[in-house]
Amino acid sequence: MELRHLRYFIAVAETGSLTVAAERRLHTSQPSLSRQIRDLEDQVGVELLSRSARGVELTAAGKAFIDHARLALNQVDAAIEAARQAAQPYKQRFALGFLTGQEMTWLPRAMHILRDELPNVDVTVSSGYSPDLAEGVARGKLDLAFMRAEPDFDLAYQVVSQEPLVVLMPSDHVLASRDVVSPHDLADYPFIAMASKAKVVRAVIDAYLERSGIEIVPTQTVDNPAMVMSLVASTRSLTLIPAYLENLMPWSVVSRPLAGDVPQIDLAIGFSKANMSPVLKLFLSRVDDLITRPAPGP
């Protein structure tokens, strides 16, 4: 039995199709893939996959086999990575995460803090939704993330900036001719709300609408910034977004400031108190420099 047998078997099981697995995952021919699967079943001694009108499905034996196959491949991948790391001079790892779009402002500042350490540190960067970043920090996949202070995770947070909410609308919306938008105008048009996954932003928006005496029944809820912008443009709706998302807006939408007492949303760095990384300790010791350093120019 060879590793390719396991990889081929898992690809077929996950796609539910010999054709899809062959063409899109494995880049081989279907007859060759079928032959490899038969060889694997001959070596195991039982049928692992069954074909039906719905596609290819795992047999009871296949379901028992697949978890062990995945574990075996994971162990091989871990062994390869360990060997590669051992063959190189030791370098510390520091994993940074950013709320999607915030890396444009904060990555240059973060790298300035780390610049003296970069010869000895492998810095990795990723972006995503705030709850996903919080989970990554909590599980040790990220050392530090620029995100919202997510209440469902036992992390330490330090606020690095605040930004206002702004009104997002189609570029040719009647309100686009105004310099500012009254919160009471929001009730006159279809409104898209943030989904529950964007818990922190949704709470700030809901509190603001309640404080302003505005009752809105959202027509849709979304948590993806790109989807928010697409829906605003296509359904001619309004929504409230943190101002940093203006950096990501396509031509089809515009933003306008809110009139009056505009709510602010915190951006924080989140990290685990249990993380003893010396690079994290250095980074945290220079947070004041991070905050006061000018934003990168155009």
Rounded mean pLDDT, 62-79: 83
What region does 37 belong to: left with phi over 0, alpha with psi -120 to 50, or beta? alpha
Architecture (CATH level 2) of domain 3-86: Orthogonal Bundle (1.10)
Residues 256-278 have pLDDT tens digits of 999 999 999 999 999 998 888 89
Residues in the chain: 298
Contact (CB, 8 A) for 150 and 289: no
- Average pLDDT, integer, range 44-65: 83
> What average pLDDT does the structure give for the chain?
86
Q: What is the pLDDT of residue 195?
A: 78
pLDDT in the model for residue 294:
65
pLDDT average, residue stretch 22-45: 83
Residue 125, CB half-sphere, CA atoms under 13 Å: how many?
Answer: 13
Question: Are 110 and 127 within 8 A, CB to CB?
Answer: no
Measure Cα distances from 220 to 165, 225, 228, 232 in Å: 19, 14, 10, 10
Q: Nearest CA to 48 among 36, 60, 32? A: 60
On the question of a common fold for 3-86 and 92-160+266-292, the answer reads no
Rounded to 10°, the helix 3-15/60-86 angle is: 120
What is the rounded average pLDDT of the residues 16-38? 82
Q: What is the pTM of this model?
A: 0.66
Given the candidates 3.30.565.10, 3.40.190.10, 3.30.479.30, 2.40.50.100, the CATH classification of the domain at 92-160+266-292 is 3.40.190.10
pLDDT of residue 89: 60
- Burial of 276 (C-beta count, 10 Å sphere; 0-12/13-18/19+): exposed
Closest CA relative to residue 258, chosen from 297, 214, 224, 197 = 214
Under the banding of pLDDT at 50, 70 and 90, the label for residue 85 is low
**What is the per-residue DSSP string for 255-273?**
EEEBSSS--EEEEEEEE-T
Task: Specify the pLDDT at position 90.
Answer: 65
At residue 296 the predicted structure's pLDDT band, cuts being 50, 70 and 90, is low
Q: Which of 100, 89, 145, 99 is nearest to 122 (CA)?
A: 89
Share of the chain above pLDDT 90, in %: 37
pLDDT reported for residue 264: 93
Predicted confidence (pLDDT) per residue in 215-272, tens digit: 888 888 887 777 888 889 889 999 999 998 888 888 899 999 999 999 999 999 999 9
Class of domain 163-265: alpha beta
pLDDT over 70 for what percent of the chain? 95
CA 286 distance to own-chain centroid: 26
Extents of the domains making up the chain: 3-86, 92-160+266-292, 163-265
* Cross-strand partners of 238: 191
Say if residue 298's pLDDT is above 50: no
